[in-house]
């Protein structure tokens, strides 16, 4: 993601797709939690969306860092807090880098994932956003090792995240509010995982269209 124009396009699409999913995310969360995940996402990413015009003069790294600050300040709940931390950590790791290869990006994504893993304490199979995030990062890393292009790595990550969401339907939550609904959550996808998969979908879509 070389320059700020691409980063802004990706961010714009992420906000658009997440806000569009508000009702779907709330409906999933009505089964798994308090029914507010979509509203929390809308609050957090709505604030990001409003700030996009002011980010046009910023570098790509500054945009990612600023997004993290907005998400952390939004009070949108656990998922948006973890997403905010992920952006802030990405900003730190990207500092002073001008152009990234797919493999360098994979290394950064892995480090960010480790940081979020430590904060969330959730693992694959707990029926949380990590069930989409973990396979997405693993797929990106694997594709980069195989010499795939930047865009192709994101496509692989997007597919893995979507498969991760599907897999959550068969899980009984071990963490978060979903833990309290037990088997009643079977058949319902995790809303946090759905949000993460939406983010990867949006980025993959923009990268595939242009640059």
What does the pLDDT profile of the chain (211 residues) look like in tens digits? 447 899 999 999 999 999 999 999 999 988 877 889 999 999 999 999 999 999 999 999 999 999 999 999 998 788 999 999 999 999 999 987 778 889 999 999 999 999 999 998 888 888 899 999 999 999 999 999 999 999 999 999 999 999 999 999 888 777 666 555 556 667 788 999 999 999 999 999 999 864 4
Q: Is 190 left (phi over 0), alpha (psi -120 to 50) or beta?
A: beta
Q: Domain span at residue 60?
A: 4-209
DSSP 176: S
How far, in Å, CA of 50 to CA of 71, rounded? 12
Contact (CB, 8 A) for 111 and 137: no
Beta strands in 128-179 (DSSP E): none
Q: What is the CATH number of the domain that holds 120?
A: 1.25.40.340
Pick from 179, 192, 68: nearest CA to 130: 192
Q: Work out how many domains the chain is built from and give that number.
A: 1
Contact (CB, 8 A) for 4 and 52: no
Contact (CB, 8 A) for 90 and 108: yes
The distance of Cα 70 from the centroid of its chain, to the nearest Å, equals: 15
């Amino acid at each position: 993601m070389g320059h700020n124009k691409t980063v802004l396009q990706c961010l714009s699409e992420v906000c658009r797709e997440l806000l569009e999913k508000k009702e779907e995310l709330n409906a999933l969360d009505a089964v798994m939690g308090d029914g507010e995940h979509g509203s929390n996402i809308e609050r957090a990413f709505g604030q990001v969306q409003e700030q996009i015009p002011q980010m046009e003069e910023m570098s790509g790294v500054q945009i990612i860092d600023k997004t993290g600050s907005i998400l952390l300040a939004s009070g949108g709940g656990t998922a948006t807090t973890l997403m905010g931390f992920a952006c802030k950590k990405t900003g730190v790791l990207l500092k002073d880098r001008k152009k990234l290869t797919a493999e360098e990006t994979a290394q950064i994504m892995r480090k960010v994932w480790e940081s979020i893993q430590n904060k969330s304490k959730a693992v694959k199979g707990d029926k949380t956003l990590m069930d989409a995030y973990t396979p997405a990062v693993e797929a990106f890393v694997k594709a980069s090792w195989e010499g795939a292009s930047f865009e192709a790595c994101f496509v692989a990550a997007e597919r893995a995240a979507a498969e991760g969401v599907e897999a959550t339907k068969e899980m009984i939550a071990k963490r978060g509010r979903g833990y309290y609904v037990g088997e009643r959550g079977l058949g319902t996808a995790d809303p946090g995982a759905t949000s993460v998969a939406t983010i990867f979908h949006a980025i993959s879509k923009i990268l595939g269209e242009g640059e």
